């Protein structure tokens, strides 16, 4: 008769073998997930070396097989159905089946960046999200919006899994969802009438360098990459280079997505020259290469007005300028202007309360540029050209959609003469009969500047303007000088 201790040991070994042999999935492949519709979607996981894994899906009779490599990893690509609210299931079988349920096919978007993207619907301490209670009450009006929050984790080496779970948006789960991401999903869900999945991989306070790979940091920056140099190089851990991309973004790179929305930049305020625009463009190329899905859309948000210890300073304005430059360099991208989305009393609020318009404007870009809905106007106006006429400056704008929102009481402009000192300017709609190019403009003048040479708009750390186009989208801050 087998001794009790021997029996228990044998049982433990058999249990361990059973656990080891069972197919293991990354946490992101789980119940309630949203898979990208009408494409080839990657599924992957781990098992014993040389093990065969068979994948069955509820939307097809076909079975798909994969075999683990020498590292025990396997991967398979499966065609997905058109978007639907009908729950799907997927079974992974290596002899012991694992099934995930309540899967939806729809559109999947990554929510990346720092705290203004991370900011949940319930807000942060002393940083509320406007309209939160209304959204809690109305959450069940939206069906098929799911999200997964990737834990913010640092790692010196790229991680391939993250402890996360998908959740369906309802009154009980809405509080933890990214506010910007959720408002973005609301619009897509309402207009397209299909499920929307949000993969939230972000971390408050991070710099653009926090998300770059070791290879890109070595090749394009002078950021130190020794472990102790990374740890000791910054007062705050969220400023560290490399580690947030390794720990928080790398686990999602096998997931099949439609595109990326991004809100980041505050922690790079003060960067010299064109450094930020170049490194942001580098990051977008890196992510596109890593996802391996082609030139997926990248829509991002201009940092909001904030005092940065000096309301009249320019460091924040120069970072916004770099973001605008980046939008012209990065293919298949779009930038959301936020000059009107801070209240006058939010000069010291790094997390402005108005997140709904941010998400909506990102959605307008997606609807127009990704989903080909040309009737959705999505672009903010920008500076086009300038003419000096005596003491007046006349300008034209791009992307006004045929109108500006007001003819008088325009605020946010400043002009300077040769002394480079800027003064607040008076601005009005200008028109005279004739029909020539310069017969309809925005006329800008200032009593203190008799011979103007340059004009700026919203080009301070915190200077709110009120000029918008026919779509109600605000004018991008700009300057005509290079001082």
The pLDDT tens digits for 349-379 are 999 999 999 999 999 999 999 999 999 999 9
CA 212 – CA 360 distance, rounded (Å): 28
Report the pLDDT value the prediction gives residue 22, as an integer from 0 to 100.
84
Residue linked to tokens 């020539």: 436
What residues are paired with 422 via a beta bridge?
416
Report the pLDDT value the prediction gives residue 3, as an integer from 0 to 100.
47
Instruction: Say how many C-beta atoms besides its own lie within 10 A of residue 326's C-beta.
Output: 24
CA 80 – CA 45 distance, rounded (Å): 18
DSSP run (H or E) holding 65: strand 63-67
Report the pLDDT value the prediction gives residue 80, as an integer from 0 to 100.
98
Per the CB < 8 A criterion, the answer to whether 216 and 289 are in contact is no
* Overall residue count recorded for the chain in this entry: 483
pLDDT in tens, 91-137: 999 999 999 999 999 999 999 999 999 999 999 999 999 999 999 99
**Helix (H/G/I), strand (E/B), else coil: 121:** coil
Q: What b/e sequence results for 223-252 when a residue is b if at least 16 CB atoms lie within 10 Å of its CB, and e otherwise?
A: beeeeeebeeeeeeebbbbbbbbbbbbbbb
| Helices and strands, counts by H and E, the chain | 10, 21
pLDDT in tens, 72-90: 999 999 999 999 999 999 9
* Residue 201 vs residues 53, 155, 208: alpha-carbon distances, Å: 29, 14, 14
Give percent of the chain with pLDDT exceeding 70.
96
Give percent of the chain with pLDDT exceeding 90.
95
411-417: average pLDDT? 98
Report the pLDDT value the prediction gives residue 447, as an integer from 0 to 100.
96
- φ/ψ of 167, rounded to 5, equals -130, 145
Residue linked to tokens 């010291």: 348
CA atoms within 13 A of residue 57's CA, in its CB half-sphere: 19
Does position 229 have pLDDT exceeding 90, yes or no? yes
Write down the pTM of the prediction: 0.95
Q: What b/e sequence results for 381-398 when a residue is b if at least 16 CB atoms lie within 10 Å of its CB, and e otherwise?
A: bbbeebeeeeebbbbbbe
Does position 2 have pLDDT exceeding 70, yes or no? no
DSSP run (H or E) holding 315: helix 315-329
CA 150 – CA 162 distance, rounded (Å): 6
Lookup: tokens for 45: 């996981």
CA 37 – CA 104 distance, rounded (Å): 9
pLDDT in tens, 239-289: 999 999 999 999 999 999 999 999 999 999 999 999 999 999 999 999 999
- The pLDDT mean for the chain works out to 95
CA 322 – CA 364 distance, rounded (Å): 22
pLDDT band at 5 (very low <50, low <70, confident <90, very high): very low
Report the pLDDT value the prediction gives residue 19, as an integer from 0 to 100.
46
Instruction: Say how many C-beta atoms besides its own lie within 10 A of residue 64's C-beta.
Output: 16
- φ/ψ of 333, rounded to 5, equals -130, 170
Q: Which of 393, 416, 402, 388 is nearest to 468 (CA)?
A: 402
Residue linked to tokens 């800008």: 444
Question: Cα 196 to the chain's mean position, in Å?
Answer: 15
Q: Which of 178, 116, 470, 455 is nearest to 305 (CA)?
A: 116
Give Cβ neighbours of residue 43 (< 8 Å, ≥ 6 apart). Answer: 25, 29, 55, 75, 76, 77, 78, 90, 92
Lookup: tokens for 478: 């700009």
Tell the burial category of 83 from Cβ atoms under 10 Å away from its Cβ (0-12, 13-18, 19+). Answer: buried
Per the CB < 8 A criterion, the answer to whether 246 and 252 are in contact is no
Characterize the bridge pairing of strands 97-113 and 84-93.
antiparallel
pLDDT band at 21 (very low <50, low <70, confident <90, very high): low
Does position 18 have pLDDT exceeding 90, yes or no? no
Characterize the bridge pairing of strands 40-46 and 73-79.
antiparallel
CA 77 – CA 314 distance, rounded (Å): 49
Sign of CA dihedral 228, 229, 235, 241: negative
pLDDT in tens, 276-325: 999 999 999 999 999 999 999 999 999 999 999 999 999 999 999 999 99
Tell the burial category of 356 from Cβ atoms under 10 Å away from its Cβ (0-12, 13-18, 19+). Answer: buried
């Amino acid at each position: 008769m087998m001794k009790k201790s021997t029996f228990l040991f044998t049982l433990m070994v058999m249990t361990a073998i059973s656990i080891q042999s069972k197919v293991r999935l990354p946490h992101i492949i789980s119940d309630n997930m949203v898979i990208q519709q009408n494409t080839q979607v990657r599924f992957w996981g781990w098992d014993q070396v040389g093990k065969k894994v068979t994948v069955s899906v509820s939307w097809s009779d076909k079975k798909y097989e994969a075999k683990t490599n020498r590292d025990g990893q396997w991967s398979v690509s499966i065609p997905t159905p058109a978007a639907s609210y009908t729950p799907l299931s997927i079974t992974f079988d290596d002899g012991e089946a694992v099934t995930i349920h309540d899967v939806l096919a729809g559109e999947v978007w990554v929510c990346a960046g720092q705290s203004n993207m991370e900011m949940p619907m319930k807000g942060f301490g002393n940083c509320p999200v406007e309209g939160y209670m209304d959204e809690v009450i109305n959450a069940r009006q939206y069906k098929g919006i799911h999200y997964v929050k990737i834990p913010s984790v640092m790692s010196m080496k790229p991680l391939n899994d993250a402890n996360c779970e998908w959740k369906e948006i309802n009154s009980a789960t809405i509080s933890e969802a990214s506010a910007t991401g959720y408002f973005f999903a609301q619009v897509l869900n309402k207009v397209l009438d299909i499920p929307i999945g949000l993969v939230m991989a972000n971390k408050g306070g991070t710099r653009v360098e926090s998300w770059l790979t070791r290879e890109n940091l070595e090749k394009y920056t002078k950021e130190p990459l020794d472990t102790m140099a990374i740890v000791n190089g910054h007062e705050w851990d969220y400023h560290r280079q490399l580690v947030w991309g390794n720990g928080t973004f790398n686990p999602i790179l096998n997931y099949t997505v439609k595109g990326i929305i991004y809100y980041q930049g505050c922690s790079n305020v003060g960067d010299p020259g064109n450094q930020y625009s170049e490194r942001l463009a580098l990051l977008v190329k890196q992510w596109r290469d890593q996802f391996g899905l082609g030139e997926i859309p990248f829509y991002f948000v201009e940092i909001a007005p904030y005092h940065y210890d000096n309301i009249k300073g320019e460091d924040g304005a120069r970072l916004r300028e770099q973001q605008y430059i980046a939008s012209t360099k990065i293919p298949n991208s779009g930038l959301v202007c936020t000059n009107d989305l801070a209240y006058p009393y939010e000069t010291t609020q790094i997390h402005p309360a108005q997140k709904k318009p941010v998400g909506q404007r990102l959605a307008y870009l997606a609807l127009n540029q990704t989903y080909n809905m040309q009737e959705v106007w999505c672009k903010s106006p920008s500076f086009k050209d300038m003419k000096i006429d005596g003491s007046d400056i006349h300008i034209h704008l791009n992307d006004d959609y045929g109108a500006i929102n007001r003819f008088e009481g325009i605020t946010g402009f400043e002009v300077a003469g040769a002394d480079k000192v800027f003064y607040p300017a008076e601005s009005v709609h200008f028109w005279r009969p004739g029909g020539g190019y310069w017969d309809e403009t925005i006329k800008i003048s200032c009593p203190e500047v008799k011979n103007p040479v340059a004009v700026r708009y919203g080009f301070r750390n915190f200077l709110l303007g009120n000029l918008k186009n026919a779509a109600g989208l605000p004018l991008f801050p700009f300057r005509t000088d290079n001082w």
